């Protein structure tokens, strides 16, 4: 069983930065496509960014392109989401997800098999 635990969320002001981390255990994360997703109150969960097993290929939602960077360290079994120039509309519960199908990173929708519990990000002045 692959377990995912997110951390790094918090309350920040517009323009600030945060780095989210996702720690994987149970299996080597290098076997999985990984995605970061978020869900704002009253809205559906949406994809933020996805990364291939190797880390060489990434995909981003239009709303975060140029501001967020996804990365992974397969040796440490960690995945990260660096978020810069945060906006109030980035507020939400951020989830890390993994899937063994190696094309999931390219599709980058919510059809992922393993999910963490989420970490809250609130951007407010």
Under 8 Å CB-to-CB from 79, ≥6 apart: which residues?
A: 21, 22, 24, 29, 34, 36, 51, 70, 71, 72, 73, 96
Residue 58: the pLDDT is: 97
Taking Cα atoms as reference points, which of 108, 115, 102 lies closest to residue 50?
108
- Do residues 81 and 69 touch, judged by C-beta distance below 8 A? yes
Under 8 Å CB-to-CB from 20, ≥6 apart: which residues?
A: 6, 7, 8, 9, 36, 80, 81, 83, 94, 96, 119, 121
Supply the DSSP symbol for 13.
Answer: -
Residue 108: the pLDDT is: 92
Q: What is the pLDDT along the chain (125 residues), one digit of tens a residue?
A: 899 999 999 999 999 999 999 999 998 998 999 999 999 989 999 999 999 999 999 999 999 999 999 999 999 999 999 999 999 999 999 999 999 998 999 899 999 999 999 999 999 99
């Amino acid at each position: 069983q692959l377990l995912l635990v997110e951390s790094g969320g918090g309350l920040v002001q517009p323009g600030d930065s945060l780095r989210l981390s996702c720690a994987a255990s149970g299996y080597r994360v290098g076997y999985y496509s990984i995605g970061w997703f978020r869900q704002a109150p009253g809205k559906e969960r949406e994809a933020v960014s996805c990364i291939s097993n190797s880390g060489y290929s990434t995909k981003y939602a239009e709303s975060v392109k140029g501001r967020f960077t996804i990365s992974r360290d397969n040796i440490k079994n960690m995945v990260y989401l660096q978020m810069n120039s945060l906006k109030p509309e980035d507020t939400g519960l951020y989830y890390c997800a993994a899937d063994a199908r190696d094309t999931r990173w390219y599709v980058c929708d919510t059809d992922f098999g393993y999910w963490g519990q989420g970490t809250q990000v609130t951007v407010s002045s």
